[in-house]
Amino acid sequence: MAKEAHLQHITIFLSIAVLLSNAALLVLLSTIPADAAQFLPAFKIYTVFSGVVSSLGLIGAIHGSQSLTHIFANHLTFDALISTFPRLILIALIPTFGANICDTARDLATRAPLEQVNMAEPEFWKKLELAEELQSIRCASFLTAAQIGLVVVFSGMSVMQWWCAVRVREYSGMLDGRVYAVEHQACQKQRRVMKV
């Protein structure tokens, strides 16, 4: 019974968190101009749908409704599934972004105002080459750390989302078992009454 209460609290927390994040996302999406993205209307519809399903999950968790929590568990599983693939694609594409960003940063750094220096001095060219090399090393180091951080965050988000879906599904299964036990007891009572 304690595990069921714990899973109920997790389900309530998750449904509230998903509901609030969808509400915030809907507000954010409403500030984006419609011509900025072709996918915006579909994303708004999915966000509203997700909010409605989260509300059903909240109601189901509060009232112990197996069917409503099962709908919410299915939604979390589906959302985890469709969210994992774009994250994996982004993780695969992360290394290609680094080279472009560092090249752009180096180009911008070398376009500094050159009127203030004497370009005829040999030391100037050595300093410029050293500065470009240091800038390139710093940029590559920063991007490597950022890429590793993104991989960890994306992977963590996917694992956490799957973990949450499994916990809600487990709670829904417990409710299903409880509903089955109550229905079984009711059938047994009805059979006894019919025999009399």
What local confidence, expressed as pLDDT, does residue 88 receive?
A: 78
For position 54, what pLDDT does the model report?
92
For 11, counting Cβ atoms within 10 Å of its Cβ (0-12 exposed, 13-18 middle, 19+ buried), the class is buried
Name the token pair of 31. Answer: 């500030």
Tell me what pLDDT residue 59 has: 94
- Provide the pLDDT for residue 93: 74
What is the C-alpha radius of gyration for the chain, rounded to an integer number of angstroms?
Answer: 28
pLDDT of residue 49: 93
Encode the chain (196 residues) as per-residue pLDDT tens digits. 688 888 888 889 989 998 998 898 888 878 877 666 677 788 888 889 999 999 999 999 999 888 999 999 999 999 888 888 877 787 777 666 666 666 665 555 555 555 555 556 677 667 767 777 777 777 778 878 888 888 888 888 888 888 888 989 888 888 877 655 655 566 667 666 666 6
Helix (H, G, I), strand (E, B) or coil at 7: helix
**What is the per-residue pLDDT for 3?**
85
Overall domain count for the chain: 1
Residue with tokens 């915030």: 24
Which two structure tokens, joined as six digits, stand for 174?
Answer: 């417990």
DSSP letters, 65-121, are -HHHHHHHHHHHHHHHHHHHHHHHHHHHHHHHHHHHHHHHHHHHHHTS--TTS-TTS
pLDDT at res. 6: 86
Q: Alpha-carbon distance 80 to 160, whole Å?
A: 9
Q: Answer whether 161's CB lies under 8 Å from 87's CB.
A: no
3-class secondary structure per residue, 32-79: CCHHHCCCHHHHHHHHHHHHHHHHHHHHHHHHCCHHHHHHHHHHHHHH
What is the model's pLDDT at position 83?
A: 83
Q: Contact, 14 vs 57, CB < 8 A?
A: yes
Q: Provide the residue range defining the domain that includes 110.
A: 2-195
